[in-house]
Amino acid sequence: MTSCAAPKSPMELGTSMRRGACPSLAAPMQTGDGLLVRLRPATDGLTPAELTVLAEAAAAFGSGIIEVTARGNLQIRGLTAPSVPALAAAIGEAGIAVAEGVAIETPPLAGFDPNEIADPRPLAATLRAAIAERRPALALAPKLSIVIDGNGGFHLRDVAADLRLEARNSEDGLRWLLSLGGAGRPERPVALLEAERVVPAVMEILAELDHLGPAARGRDLDADGIRQRLSAGLDPLPATGGALPFLPAGIHDFGNGRTVLGVALAFAQTDSASLIAFLSRVEELGATEIRLAPRHGLLVLGLSREAAAVGQRLAFSRGFLVAADDPRNHIATCAGLACASALMDTKVVAGLLLEVGADLLDGSLAVHLSGCAKGCARPRASPLTLVGAPSGYALVVNGTASVAPSAYTDENGIRSALAGLNALVRRNKDAGESARSCLTRLGTARIAAAFEQG
């Protein structure tokens, strides 16, 4: 971790447009609206005052647009080469520690959630230290991620990981299920480990990735060979996944008077003035800590049930998502025209979808709106993905943004195309059937026809 005390000069900043790069303070990413920096706090959460400092800095040194990503990282947009060092200095002066190195992610309420089988944070800290002390240092892919999940209510099972450790109860006590994954392919369990075996096993796998080269990801590993080495002669390993993803928005009751107010950023973005106003009010109401959460969430700790209800009303008035049934929860958008690569204004199309797509947005699926085929907002397949294309809009059915589309429309046809998809579900849905299962039953050809015929 670092407290960002040594901002670099503009000349030292290595800006990047490279796919697979991580836009840190030291290497911000060039986008359509200037430089972008992604920050991951090194602590469990931030105080309201610390997050206010970041929001003020976003307005002073950037465009004032703040994002929380699908993985729960904070992004500040609209920076310039001279303003990035000023941002770093402001963060350093506030004493905010920023995580560096391999991303080791734990659930947003780790250590707070009474439903988790084990607190994953001590294991994460031990692994971070082992990686930092490793000599020679490991050269790993910038976007490599390790998820350590205590398996509570606010789990990370739908967050893609190169290496995943998930707490499991067994007859012999706590075990950690180790799986290999990566975007675009199912995870492959390779071992069920006692706590003391976890760090040596993970370090061995990281050394293999280092050997494969600095672009190697979990999907490139020989899962059968690793399973043989770590689990030979043992019972079959349990499967991973299977739990519904959690949505941060709502008032979450953890018993014994412990309440968490969850809000989410509509289409992943807010502006600094709205965030500062919200933080100021919840701090007055008793908030002590804000934890960033996957699915663009902010989880507010320290409030009473009554105070959370007041904070929720204020969040709603400021444009935040406050309920799991808000249809905006079910649209995944990237930055759209704020990104230099965008061929589609994702926010405008999201607005159209909200107007005409009520039957699609029943919560059973996420409609992915991607400015280009890179698919930043959702690396995994989605039942419906709309991708910006040179000629207009391309529809991918049951795939990621990068796979071959099944249908196209243009600027004049996009509204009726979305309405056509919605009508397809409305007319064909059986009683009690979800939009997702209806679309699966109807199949790609009918979905593509409904989109193109409008």
**21 vs 97 by CB, closer to ligand SF4:** 21
Q: Is 341 in the site for ligand SF4 (CB under 6 A)?
A: yes
**Neighbour-count burial of 430, counting CB atoms closer than 10 A to its CB (0-12 exposed, 13-18 middle, 19+ buried):** exposed
- Tell me the HSE value of 419 on the side-chain side, using a 13 A CA sphere: 10
| Spatial distance between the Cα atoms of 322 and 316, rounded to a whole number of angstroms | 6
Residues 174-205: b if buried by 16+ CB within 10 A, e if exposed: ebbbbbbbbbbeebbbbbbbebeebbebbeeb
Beta bridge partners of 147: 105, 164
Using CB under 6 A, which of 79, 87, 287, 372 touches ligand SF4?
372
Using CB under 6 A, which of 62, 262, 375, 383 touches ligand SF4?
375
**67 within 8 A of 49, measured Cβ to Cβ:** no
Using CB under 6 A, which of 45, 371, 383, 405 touches ligand SF4?
371
**358 within 8 A of 275, measured Cβ to Cβ:** no
Using CB under 6 A, which of 339, 360, 397, 419 touches ligand SF4?
339
The residue range among 47-55, 130-138, 277-285, 374-382 that interacts with ligand SF4, by the rule CB under 6 A, is 374-382
Handedness of CA 409, 414, 417, 422 (dihedral sign): positive
Using CB under 6 A, which of 146, 167, 300, 376 touches ligand SF4?
376
How would DSSP label each residue in 58-110?
HHHHS-SEEEE-TTS-EEEEEE-TTHHHHHHHHHHHTT--B--SSEEE--TTT
The residue range among 137-145, 150-158, 338-346, 445-453 that interacts with ligand SF4, by the rule CB under 6 A, is 338-346
Using CB under 6 A, which of 57, 205, 332, 342 touches ligand SF4?
342
End-to-end CA separation in angstroms for the chain: 52
Q: Is 298 in the site for ligand SF4 (CB under 6 A)?
A: no
CB of 195 to ligand SF4, least distance (A): 38
- Site for ligand SF4 (CB under 6 A): how many residues? 11
Q: Is 334 in the site for ligand SF4 (CB under 6 A)?
A: yes
**64 vs 375 by CB, closer to ligand SF4:** 375
Picking from 414, 69, 72, the residue whose alpha carbon sits closest to that of residue 267 is 69
CB of 243 to ligand SF4, least distance (A): 27
Using CB under 6 A, which of 47, 69, 274, 370 touches ligand SF4?
370
For ligand SF4, the nearest residue by Cβ is 371
Q: Is 268 in the site for ligand SF4 (CB under 6 A)?
A: no
Q: Is 402 in the site for ligand SF4 (CB under 6 A)?
A: no
User: By the criterion CB under 6 A, which residues form the site for ligand SF4?
Assistant: 334-335, 339, 341-342, 370-372, 374-376
